[in-house]
């Protein structure tokens, strides 16, 4: 029986990918190479330092660790400038109704995100109070597709993985959820999230009960 839901943040609750893109692109501009939105797709769900490695690979650049740390810090400052201007209007369609539906059914709610900025984003969106548990990039040592972030989420909710549904928009996140023994709903397209138990575009017009039905049939 499902007793808890664990949500990824970027791409599931809010579209921060566009702000990550702008901040990474500004860094690429400074370093003198082009970084496209298509390139940015490769960074979804990936940790900050791994994202930087991919960006530098795109630009065919190599730097020592100290410079890389400076670049990552610099990118994060730019990213923070964007996210500190976010408002609750940016919560993706249907998410609030779905969270309210979970609350009314006493389903536990956790966040399982790779982002170290997750608390700032939840604050900006005024969503903090919905979450019983927040596991973010400051609390995990292994990146998705390792299931650590979701396993820690389930443990903090005092639930077993099989009692939880994970909502994920990234392929690595779906892989992490399945590896961890969770049911997984992919948010996006079945093309790259085909391993999920069910894939949907977003949370509009779907209730928790309907979702359980879709997973079980
Ligand atoms: P930060 P999620 C991930 O969040 C993003 O999808 C990914 O693009 C980003 O690099 C990562 O967080 C780290 O974010 O630089 O804010 O710590 O999708 O796991 O919620
Ligand atoms: Mg995501």
Give yes or no: residues 68 and 120 share one domain. Answer: no
What is the position in ligand 1's atom list of the atom closest to the CA of 170?
18
Q: Give the ligand whose atoms come closest to the C-alpha of residue 114.
A: 1
How far is the centre of ligand 1, averaged over its atoms, from the C-alpha of 198 (Å)? 23
Q: Are 165 and 102 in contact, with CB atoms under 8 Å apart?
A: no
Boundary (domain end) residue, out of 83, 105, 139: 83
pLDDT-derived band at 105 (thresholds 50, 70, 90) equals: very high
What is the position in ligand 1's atom list of the atom closest to the CA of 9?
20
pLDDT-derived band at 187 (thresholds 50, 70, 90) equals: very high
Give yes or no: residues 146 and 161 share one domain. Answer: yes
| Model confidence pTM above 0.85 | yes
Residue 216 reports pLDDT greater than 90: no
Question: Does residue 10 carry a catalytic annotation?
Answer: yes
Mean pLDDT of the chain: 96
Boundary (domain end) residue, out of 45, 63, 83: 83
Give yes or no: residues 70 and 93 share one domain. Answer: no
Residue owning the nearest CA to atom 5 of ligand 1? 45
Give yes or no: residues 97 and 158 share one domain. Answer: yes
Q: Ligand 1 — pocket residues by CB below 6 A?
A: 8-11, 20, 43-48, 51, 76, 113-117, 137, 170
Q: What is the pLDDT of residues 1-38, one digit of tens each?
A: 999 999 999 999 999 999 999 999 999 999 999 999 99
How far is the centre of ligand 1, averaged over its atoms, from the C-alpha of 83 (Å)? 13
Q: Would you tell me how many other CB atoms lie within 10 Å of the CB of residue 65?
A: 8
What is the position in ligand 1's atom list of the atom closest to the CA of 168?
18
Give yes or no: residues 69 and 120 share one domain. Answer: no
Alpha-carbon gap, residue 173 to 27, rounded angstroms: 26
Give yes or no: residues 54 and 105 share one domain. Answer: no
Alpha helix ranges (H) inside 32-64: 37-41, 48-58
Q: In the structure encoding, which two tokens stand for residue 1, read together?
A: 């029986």
Residue owning the nearest CA to atom 3 of ligand 1? 45
Question: How many residues belong to the chain?
Answer: 217
Question: Does residue 39 carry a catalytic annotation?
Answer: no
Q: Which residues of 13-45 are buried (b: 16+ CB within 10 A; e: fewer)?
A: bbebbebbbebbbebbeeeeeebeeebbeebbb
Q: Residue 193: which of 53, 2, 45 has the closest Cα?
A: 45
Residue 178 reports pLDDT greater than 90: yes
Residue 198 reports pLDDT greater than 90: yes
Residue owning the nearest CA to atom 7 of ligand 1? 45
Q: What is the pLDDT of residues 125-163, one digit of tens each?
A: 999 999 999 999 999 999 999 999 999 999 999 999 999
Sequence-ordered list of residues with C-beta below 8 angstroms from that of 90, at least 6 positions apart, any chain:
14, 15, 125
How far is the centre of ligand 1, averaged over its atoms, from the C-alpha of 47 (Å)? 6
Q: What is the pLDDT of residues 162-173, one digit of tens each?
A: 999 999 999 999
CATH number (domain holding residue 26): 1.10.150.240
Q: Which domain holds residue 100?
A: 4-15+88-216
How far is the centre of ligand 1, averaged over its atoms, from the C-alpha of 27 (Å)? 17
pLDDT at 31: 97
pLDDT-derived band at 45 (thresholds 50, 70, 90) equals: confident
pLDDT at 134: 98
pLDDT at 192: 86
What whole-number percentage of the chain has pLDDT above 90? Answer: 95
pLDDT-derived band at 57 (thresholds 50, 70, 90) equals: very high
């Amino acid at each position: 029986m499902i007793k808890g839901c664990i949500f990824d943040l970027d791409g599931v609750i809010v579209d921060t990918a566009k702000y990550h893109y702008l901040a990474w692109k500004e860094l690429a501009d400074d370093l003198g190479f082009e970084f496209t939105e298509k390139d940015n797709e490769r960074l979804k769900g990936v940790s900050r330092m791994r994202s930087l490695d991919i960006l530098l690979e795109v630009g065919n650049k190599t730097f020592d660790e100290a410079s890389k740390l400076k670049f990552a810090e610099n990118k994060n400052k730019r990213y923070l400038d964007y996210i500190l201007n976010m408002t609750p209007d940016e919560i993706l369609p249907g998410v609030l109704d779905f969270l309210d539906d979970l609350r009314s059914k006493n389903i536990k709610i956790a966040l399982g995100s790779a982002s170290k900025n997750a608390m700032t984003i939840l604050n900006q969106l005024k969503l903090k109070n919905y979450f019983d548990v927040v596991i973010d990039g400051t609390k995990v040592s292994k990146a998705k597709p390792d299931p650590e972030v979701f396993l820690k989420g389930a443990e903090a909710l005092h639930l077993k993985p099989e009692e939880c549904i994970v909502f994920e928009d990234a392929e690595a996140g779906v892989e992490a959820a399945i590896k961890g023994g969770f049911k997984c709903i992919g948010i996006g397209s079945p093309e790259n999230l085909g391993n999920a138990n069910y894939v949907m575009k977003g949370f509009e017009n779907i209730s928790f009960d309907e979702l359980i039905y879709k997973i079980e049939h």
